[in-house]
Amino acid sequence: MNSMDFSQLESIIESQLSVKRMEHTRGVISEAKKLAERYGCDTSKAEFAALCHDMARCISESHLKAYLQEFSLDSGNTHSLELAHGKIAAELLKRDWALDDMDIINAISFHTTGRQGMSMLEKIIYLADAIEPGRKYPGVERIRELAYQDLDRACVESMKQTIEYINGKGREIDDNTIKAIEDLLLKERGSDE
C-alpha cells in the first residue's frame, strides 16, 4: 500500500472511530513500530496492521452480525461480538482495499485472541494492543518490560492475564487463545531442553 492509500485509509478510520479509540490506535501504532524495530520486523507492515486492527471496533452490533453473515465468519467461535471486530476488519481490508498480505491479515484477525503458530508480526500487534501507553491494568508494566526482552514470554504473560480476567467475569475463553498459549508454552519448553 502506498503512502497516499495509507493516508486515505487513516482518514477513513479516524472518521469511524471514537476519539478515545483513535487515541488507543495511535498508541498501538507507536508501540508496534518500536517492537518491530526491536525484533527486526517490517515496521511498515506493523504500522499498517496497527492502524487497521480496530477499524471495525465502533461498528454497531447489528452491523457486526451482518458482516459475520456476509463474510461467512464462524460466530460460534467468537464468544462475544467484541472479539469479531478483528476478523471483520481483515475481511473489509481484503474486500475494499485488495489487501492480500496474509501476515497482516492474520495480525489484524487475531489481535484480540492470538492463535496457534503466531508470526512475529502477529505477536507484535497482539502485544502492542495490550501494552500501548494508554493501557492501565494490574501487571501491564511487567508485560511492557517483558515485551522488549522476550516476545513469546510477554505474549504468554498477557494471555495468562486475559484468561484470568475472562474467567473472573464468568465468560468463555476463545479457543484461539487457549491454542496460542499452549503453542507458546510448548515452544518455550522445547527451547529449555
* 26-56 pLDDT, tens digit each: 999 999 999 999 999 999 999 999 999 999 9
Report the interhelical angle of 61-70 vs 81-97 (nearest 10°): 60
Rounded to 10 degrees, the C-alpha dihedral 53/150/39/45 comes to -10
129, 113 Cβ separation under 8 angstroms: no
Q: Which of the 8 DSSP states describes residue 137?
A: -
Q: Which triple of cell numbers denotes residue 189? A: 519448553
Provide the percentage of residues in the chain whose pLDDT is more than 90.
Answer: 79
- Identify which has the larger pLDDT, 123 or 5: 123
Put residue 114 in one of left, alpha, beta given phi > 0 → left and psi -120 to 50 → alpha: left
Give tens-digit pLDDT for 57-116. 999 989 988 999 899 887 554 457 788 999 999 999 999 999 999 999 999 999 999 999
Domains (ranges, CATH) in the chain? Answer: 3-192 (1.10.3210.10)
- Please give the full DSSP string across 50-107, using - where no structure is assigned: HHHTTTTTTS-HHHHHHHHHHTT--TTT-SSHHHHHHHHHHHHHHHHH----HHHHHH
Put residue 179 in one of left, alpha, beta given phi > 0 → left and psi -120 to 50 → alpha: alpha
pLDDT of amino acid 4: 57
Give tens-digit pLDDT for 80-95. 778 899 999 999 999 9
Q: Which triple of cell numbers denotes residue 121? A: 508480526
pLDDT of amino acid 133: 96
First to last CA, the chain: 42
Residues whose CB is less than 8 angstroms from the CB of residue 4 and which lie 6 or more positions away in sequence, other chains included:
none
pLDDT of amino acid 177: 95
Q: How confident is the model at residue 193 (pLDDT cuts 50, 70, 90)?
A: low
Q: How confident is the model at residue 189 (pLDDT cuts 50, 70, 90)?
A: confident
pLDDT of amino acid 82: 80
Q: Which triple of cell numbers denotes residue 113? A: 485472541
Residue 190 has pLDDT above 80, yes or no: no
pTM of the model: 0.93
Q: Which of the 8 DSSP states describes residue 187?
A: H
